């Protein structure tokens, strides 16, 4: 069966780093051009995404916006998100300084005449309370996330949301931005049916990854059964979260088919039909594709 994959969230920069093809993802691309073997990097990239028609590469801070844009610029199937991850926030994080820097970096991308063909959304961004209950850090995360929403609205882009142990606050923020409803993807969704029901009230999409295949993913599989097919997206979040039967290994792009197969099994449909639906869903969220 001839299948074409559509990956909606994977960190190829981290995978290349893990494979020791690039020394660090936040380095200057010009330095990499002078010191690295770009031919080997791009040859490996072509091998990794050979079965893909689309691969969406997120970013996590201004440190790697431009690097990722330049690294993947020549690869048409690889699209880039620009976004600031909540875990960059700590007690010393100066949000005013950071947002000033972000504005400068985004302007650099916007001044490139073909930026829009490569940068298709804002992400990953959001809230993560898993490691902290510090009120000051939560407030900074909230402000940072709102800045990402405004960046998306200003540029008519969808957002990709990272949310862990923070859904109540996420919904409070979404209440304030009705223009963003239907234009977001909750990446690496691990919520139960009740949380899924609430996300659907905002007409959001659900990024489903390898956790759906885990033995302890029963509540997620129940949520997937409930979620309409036209609201599902498939991802790996590579190089993390390898699906069964690859759990414990570095996650590779080809493993996305194991995730799609699990979703198809839950929905009771053929794998090829699942991929057809997933492709339509990607086009529905990312309308410029």
Sequence-distant contacts of 227-231: CB under 8 A, at least 24 apart: 227/196, 227/200, 228/200, 229/267, 229/269, 229/277, 229/281, 230/277, 230/280, 230/281, 230/284, 231/200, 231/204, 231/205, 231/206, 231/281
pLDDT at 122: 97
Instruction: Please tell me the predicted confidence (pLDDT) of residue 288.
Output: 79
Domains, the chain, with CATH or none: 86-285 (3.20.20.140)
Token reading at 53:
């028609």
Task: Give the strand order in the sheet containing 184-186.
Answer: 5-7, 52-57, 78-82, 119-128, 159-164, 184-186, 205-208, 232-234
Separation CA 115–CA 109 (nearest Å): 6
Q: How far apart (Å, rounded) are the C-alpha atoms in residues 171 and 156?
A: 21
Q: Which residues contact 96 (CB under 8 A, 6 or more apart)?
A: none
pLDDT at 107: 87
CA distance 215 to 131: 24
User: Can you tell me the distance from the alpha carbon of 213 to that of 228, in angstroms, rounded to the nearest whole number?
Assistant: 19
pLDDT over 70 (residue 1): no
pLDDT exceeds 70 at position 26? no
CA 162 – CA 164 distance, rounded (Å): 7
| Under 8 Å between Cβ of 211 and 190 | yes
Confidence of residue 35 (pLDDT cuts 50, 70, 90): confident
pLDDT at residue 228, as a whole number: 98
- List the single range of 23-27, 202-206, 214-218 with lowest mean pLDDT: 23-27
Residue 36 phi, psi (nearest 5)? -100, 170
Q: How confident is the model at residue 237 (pLDDT cuts 50, 70, 90)?
A: very high
CA–CA gap between residue 49 and residue 254 (Å, rounded): 8
Q: How confident is the model at residue 113 (pLDDT cuts 50, 70, 90)?
A: confident
Mean pLDDT of 10-20: 95
Q: What is the mean pLDDT of residues 99-103?
A: 94
3-class secondary-structure state, position 233: strand
Q: Does an H or E element contain 258, and which?
A: helix 256-267
């Amino acid at each position: 069966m001839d299948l074409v994959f559509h990956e909606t969230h994977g960190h190829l920069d981290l995978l290349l780093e893990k494979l020791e093809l690039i020394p660090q993802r936040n380095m200057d691309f010009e330095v990499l051009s002078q010191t690295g073997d770009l031919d080997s990097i791009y040859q490996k990239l072509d091998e990794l995404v050979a079965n893909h028609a689309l691969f969406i590469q997120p970013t996590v801070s201004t440190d790697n916006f431009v690097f990722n844009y330049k690294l993947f610029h020549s690869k048409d199937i690889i699209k880039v998100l620009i976004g600031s991850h909540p875990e960059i926030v700590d007690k010393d994080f100066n949000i005013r300084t950071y947002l000033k820097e972000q504005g400068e970096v985004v302007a650099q991308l916007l001044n490139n005449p073909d930026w829009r063909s490569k940068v298709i959304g804002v992400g990953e961004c959001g809230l993560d309370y898993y490691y902290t209950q510090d009120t000051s850090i939560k407030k900074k995360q909230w402000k940072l996330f709102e800045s990402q929403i405004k960046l998306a609205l200003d540029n008519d882009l969808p957002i990709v949301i990272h949310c862990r142990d923070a859904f109540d606050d996420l919904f409070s923020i979404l209440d304030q931005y009705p223009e963003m409803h239907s234009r977001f993807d909750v990446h690496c969704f691990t919520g139960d049916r009740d949380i899924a029901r609430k996300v659907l009230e905002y007409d959001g999409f659900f990024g489903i990854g390898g956790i759906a295949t885990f033995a302890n993913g029963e509540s997620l599989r129940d949520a997937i059964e409930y979620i309409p097919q036209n609201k599902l997206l498939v991802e790996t979040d590579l190089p993390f979260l390898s699906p069964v039967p690859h759990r414990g290994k570095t996650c590779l792009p080809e493993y996305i088919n194991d995730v799609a197969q699990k979703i198809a099994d839950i929905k009771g449909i053929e794998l090829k039909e699942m991929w057809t639906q997933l492709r339509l869903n990607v086009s529905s969220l990312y309308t410029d594709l």
